[in-house]
Amino acid sequence: MDIIVVGLSHKTAPVAVREKVAFAPENMQQPLEQLQALPAVNEAIIISTCNRVELYAVSNDGDAALAQLKHFLVEYHQLSSNKLAKHLYVMQGDAAIRHLFRVTSSLDSMVIGEPQILGQIKTAYGFATEHKTAGLILNRFLHKAFSVAKRVRTETNIAGNAVSVSFAAVELARKIFGRIEGKTVLLIGAGEMCELAAKHFINNGVTRVLVTNRTFVRAEKLAAEFSGQPILFENFQEHLHQADIVLSSTGATNFIITPDKVNGALRRRKNRPLFFIDIAVPRDIDPRVNDINNVYLYDVDDLQGVVNANMKERHKEAEQAEEIVEHEIGQFQSWMAGLDVVPTIVALRQQIDELRQAELEKTFSSLKHLSDGDRKTIVAMSSALTNKILHPPTKVLKQAQQESNAQQYVDALQVLFDLEIAAPEGKLKAVESDN
Amino acid sequence: MGVNILFFKLTLLLYAVSTLLYLFSVVVNKPNSDRLGRWLLMGAFAVHTTTLVIRFYEAGYTPVTNLHESLSFFAWTLAGTFLLIDRRLRMAVLAATTSTIILVLMLFGSLMPMHIQMLNPALDSLWLPIHIGLAFMGNAVFTVAFVAGIFYLLQERMLKSKKFSALYYRLPSLDTLDTINYRCLTFGFPLMTMGIISGAVWADSAWGTYWSWDPKETWALITWFLYAALLHGRLTTGWRGRRAAILAIIGFAFLLFTFLGVNLLLPGLHSYSSMSG
């Protein structure tokens, strides 16, 4: 019994390849059922996002299943197998388990710690359960992956700090003001990034928005959009002291906000902190403004620097997350091993055979007159008998393993025959703690 | 060895463990990782309270008359004050620093002669616990303002220079630190004022004069003026942030000198709380 994965991601394939291999969410039934129908595949799930396409399967013959999955991917999308091959990665066993755990925990994402991937995998799992291609093992596997992702999220700070420029601005404001609820934002000029940042601020509790623009009509339009207040560009300086956060992005070629003006505004607001975000290139705000007490000025490069620092912090957290993943792989492996029927069959046969040998010895020691031929016949009879007795349970166990519900028989046999099975350590513990 | 000294040592140990746990939680920077440290600090505070009560009964007076007792009492008020603040603002960095200061005070306290001495008759008064209690509670509140001030400056520098160290991710917002500064000032200043007034009233009844310009009185007054200036600046012209943080740090330096420096270096009317007692 093995878990395998065939796939490609942003790490191995450009978008031009990824888009050709993607599966449309509105049509998942067909590919899932085709996968399930592959001879070597017992269970299957398809994860398809804009950054990755991965097919996970449970199989008794991993190598055969891998080949069939690859073939399926090529056939289904009518691609050339040579071209696709160099972008594909295949994993089996531990590596496949590790991979899904890492993907779900957002350790394999383009932006480490991004929150979307968990939802996307939950959706993919939804399709697999809807079309009944996920059985005992994949159910357990996916739920385990979700719980690993949850552990990573709660036990590490992997999603802790902003990794986009506009959100970094919001976080900086929080570092300065504590709460940004009830603060006032002044928007100078327009521009995509500026508006995006303003939206972030509003979503995070900013209640008052002032908008100014050289073209007053544009200021009015933008103000209406944010239910803010338009201000004439000519006298926006008069309103500077009302703002806690100033977002500037004009086409001006020289500084429109100077230390003088800021000092004046600061006096009028009794030194309450002012946070300037200068998104314009060339810059709108004199960098010397940053030297004034209680004033903080960030330009585009500064914000990018914050994002980079946050990124580094996430990478540090990711190292801890990897440890969690490794630990959970071990647990899941133990559970998988518990599903394997071979050790049970071996133990059962051994036990019966020992009994047979012991009884033969006892019989022969009291019947010393038997000829060698007679003895041979009795030995043959005893082994034929035990084999006949053992045949049906062996068959049932093997069948059950195919259907992935062997656990109940394994458990029953252990109790009924008092078997001691050389199980991997921690098996019982793993099963208990997972339930 | 008195039971109170045994308890003092147990208190010291608990503060040490709590400090270590807090420091650990700062390093790992996980939500709720400071829980154990907090429980231990609460436990240490409870045991410390018991220590003081036992010493009160063993000595027969409020144990604030020599340096060992003063340091222990200061540590106790600081722990109590911090636990009150901590109910509102849970911050591992602040807790780790404050508990380190508590630990240092206790360690110094353990190096001083610890045995119970005969009470100087001049101190045998109900004013003793009132005067000392108010003064040390004020000191404790200003110590928290000092810690917040240090972190304000560190945080402000990182925000200005745009270079973030690991500390940046562990510090609360500038506004929070500045608010602590302000709150501590509004609580600490009246406490300190009442401490000085109660001292003057006591001096009048014990020595026959309200004010004798002995070193402790002089330095306390200087410190009082400093904090008065800060409070005034905050309330009228909006002295906040960096300037308020710097003043809280300077104020603490004066405060420390008034408490320890004067005791150890400058002889005067308050000299019973020097090293030898």
Residues of B in contact with A313 (CB under 8 A): 169
Residues of A in contact with B243 (CB under 8 A): 293
Show Cβ contacts of residue B13 under 8 Å, excluding neighbours closer than 6 positions.
none
**A4 φ, ψ to 5°?**
-130, 160
How many whole angstroms separate alpha carbon A369 and alpha carbon B84? 96
Nearest CB to B238; choose among A157, A270, A298: A270
Are the CB atoms for B232 and B139 separated by under 8 Å?
A: no
Asked if the Cβ–Cβ distance from B169 to A313 is below 8 Å, we say: yes
Query: What is the rounded average pLDDT of the residues A266-277?
Result: 92
Is A287 part of the contact surface with chain B (CB cutoff 8 Å)? no
Residues of B in contact with A156 (CB under 8 A): 30
Is A311 part of the contact surface with chain B (CB cutoff 8 Å)? no
Nearest CB to A161; choose among B30, B169, B242: B169
pLDDT tens, position by position, B167-217: 888 889 999 999 999 999 999 999 999 999 999 998 888 888 888 888 888
Asked if the Cβ–Cβ distance from A177 to B173 is below 8 Å, we say: yes
Mutate to test the interface with B, among A156, A157, A271 (most CBs of B within 10 A): A271
Lowest-pLDDT choice from A270-274, B95-99, B116-120: B116-120
pLDDT at A423: 44
Asked if pLDDT for residue A90 goes beyond 90, the answer is yes
Residues of B in contact with A272 (CB under 8 A): 238, 240
Asked if the Cβ–Cβ distance from A175 to B243 is below 8 Å, we say: no
Asked if the Cβ–Cβ distance from B173 to A176 is below 8 Å, we say: yes
**A244 φ, ψ to 5°?**
-95, -35
Is A273 part of the contact surface with chain B (CB cutoff 8 Å)? yes
Is A304 part of the contact surface with chain B (CB cutoff 8 Å)? no
Asked if the Cβ–Cβ distance from B173 to A175 is below 8 Å, we say: yes
pLDDT at A395: 87
Show Cβ contacts of residue A369 under 8 Å, excluding neighbours closer than 6 positions.
none
For A176, the closest chain B residue by CA position comes to B174
**The pair of three-digit structure tokens given for residue B156, joined into one six-digit string:** 């402000």
Asked if the Cβ–Cβ distance from A293 to B179 is below 8 Å, we say: no
Asked if the Cβ–Cβ distance from A313 to B239 is below 8 Å, we say: no
Min distance B148 CA to chain A CA atoms (Å): 14
Is A290 part of the contact surface with chain B (CB cutoff 8 Å)? yes
Query: What is the rounded average pLDDT of the residues B95-121?
Result: 87
pLDDT band for position A430 (cuts 50, 70, 90): very low
Nearest CB to A178; choose among B162, B173, B241: B173
Min distance B157 CA to chain A CA atoms (Å): 10
Nearest CB to A178; choose among B175, B240, B241: B175
Asked if the Cβ–Cβ distance from B159 to A272 is below 8 Å, we say: no
Mutate to test the interface with B, among A165, A170, A294, A298 (most CBs of B within 10 A): A294
How many whole angstroms separate alpha carbon A273 and alpha carbon B240? 9
Higher pLDDT, A263 or A331: A263
Query: What is the rounded average pLDDT of the residues A372-400?
Result: 89
Min distance A289 CA to chain B CA atoms (Å): 11
A359's enclosing H/E stretch is: helix A342-366
For B166, the closest chain A residue by CA position comes to A313
Asked if the Cβ–Cβ distance from B238 to A272 is below 8 Å, we say: yes
CB contacts under 8 A, B 164-193 vs A, are: 164, 168-169, 172-176, 179
CB pairs under 8 A between A and B: 58
How many whole angstroms separate alpha carbon A6 and alpha carbon A4? 7
Q: How far is CA B131 from the centre of its chain?
A: 15
pLDDT at A288: 94
Is B88 part of the contact surface with chain A (CB cutoff 8 Å)? no
For A314, the closest chain B residue by CA position comes to B169
Q: What pTM was computed for the model?
A: 0.73
Higher pLDDT, B67 or A246: A246
A48's enclosing H/E stretch is: strand A43-48
How many whole angstroms separate alpha carbon B144 and alpha carbon B141? 5
pLDDT tens, position by position, A318-364: 999 999 999 999 888 877 876 777 778 888 888 899 999 999 999 98
DSSP A283-342: -SB-GGGGGSTTEEEEEHHHHHHHHHHHHHHHHHHHHHHHHHHHHHHHHHHHHHHHH--H
Positive or negative, the Cα torsion across A238, A243, A246, A249? negative
Asked if pLDDT for residue A379 goes beyond 80, the answer is yes
* Residues of A designated catalytic: 50
pLDDT tens, position by position, B244-269: 999 999 999 999 998 887 777 777 76
Is A270 part of the contact surface with chain B (CB cutoff 8 Å)? yes
pLDDT band for position A434 (cuts 50, 70, 90): very low
Residues of B in contact with A177 (CB under 8 A): 173-175
Asked if the Cβ–Cβ distance from A273 to B175 is below 8 Å, we say: yes
Please report where in the chains the tokens 């002889």 appear, as a residue.
B267
pLDDT at A422: 53
Min distance A314 CA to chain B CA atoms (Å): 11
Higher pLDDT, A109 or A398: A109
Please report where in the chains the tokens 């506009």 appear, as a residue.
A166
Asked if pLDDT for residue A433 goes beyond 50, the answer is no
Min distance A146 CA to chain B CA atoms (Å): 21
Higher pLDDT, A301 or A404: A301
Are the CB atoms for B7 and B51 separated by under 8 Å?
A: yes
Lowest-pLDDT choice from A65-79, B18-32, B37-51: B18-32
pLDDT at A37: 92
For B161, the closest chain A residue by CA position comes to A290
pLDDT at A149: 94
pLDDT at A421: 63
Query: What is the rounded average pLDDT of the residues A47-53?
Result: 92
Task: For chain B, give the percent of residues with pLDDT over 90.
Answer: 49
